[in-house]
């Protein structure tokens, strides 16, 4: 039996391609990584990096080590590809309960 509190909730796997930067040939992405997540496909209003209001159609909750900068792409279990709007790291007194919240287009 696992002692990781996330194991009970992370029932989906997505593919993340982290945005590394942009160059003369366009955006540069890292290699695809499979990430176990809790997926919430409800719609909500969030603020992007420029503080503009943007509609998010899905939110991922993952382990605190997940790196998903805005502009990264995420392929959901249904095959749809979404773009990261914002990433928030949540800290807790108990390090096992910390996590990352990723808002997607």
For residue range 80-91, list pLDDT tens digits in order: 999 999 999 887
User: What is the assigned CATH class of domain 12-104?
Assistant: mainly beta
What is the reported pLDDT for 1? 47
User: CA 74, 76, 79, 80 torsion: positive or negative?
Assistant: negative
Q: Which residue has the higher pLDDT, 46 or 92?
A: 46
Backbone φ and ψ for 33, nearest 5 degrees, come out as: -130, 130
Residue (of 90, 57, 93) closest to 101 by Cα position:
90
What is the reported pLDDT for 3? 56
Q: Is the pLDDT of residue 8 over 70?
A: no
Residue with tokens 């945005």: 19
User: CA 65, 57, 74, 2 torsion: positive or negative?
Assistant: positive
CB 62 within 8 A of CB 28: no
For residue range 22-76, list pLDDT tens digits in order: 988 999 999 999 999 999 999 999 999 899 999 999 999 998 889 999 999 999 9
What is the reported pLDDT for 58? 97
Q: Where are the domains of the chain?
A: 12-104
3-state secondary structure of 96: helix
Q: Is the pLDDT of residue 103 over 70?
A: yes
- Which two structure tokens, joined as six digits, stand for 19? 């945005």
């Amino acid at each position: 039996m696992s002692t990781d509190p996330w194991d009970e909730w992370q029932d989906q796997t997505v593919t993340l391609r982290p945005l590394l930067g942009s160059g003369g040939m366009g955006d540069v992405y890292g290699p695809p990584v499979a990430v176990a997540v809790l997926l919430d496909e409800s719609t909500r209003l969030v603020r992007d990096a420029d503080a503009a209001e943007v509609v998010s159609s899905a939110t991922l909750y993952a382990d605190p080590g997940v790196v998903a900068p805005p502009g990264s792409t995420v392929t959901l279990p249904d095959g749809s590809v979404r773009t990261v709007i914002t990433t928030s790291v949540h800290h807790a007194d108990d390090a096992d309960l910390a996590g990352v919240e990723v808002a997607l287009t």
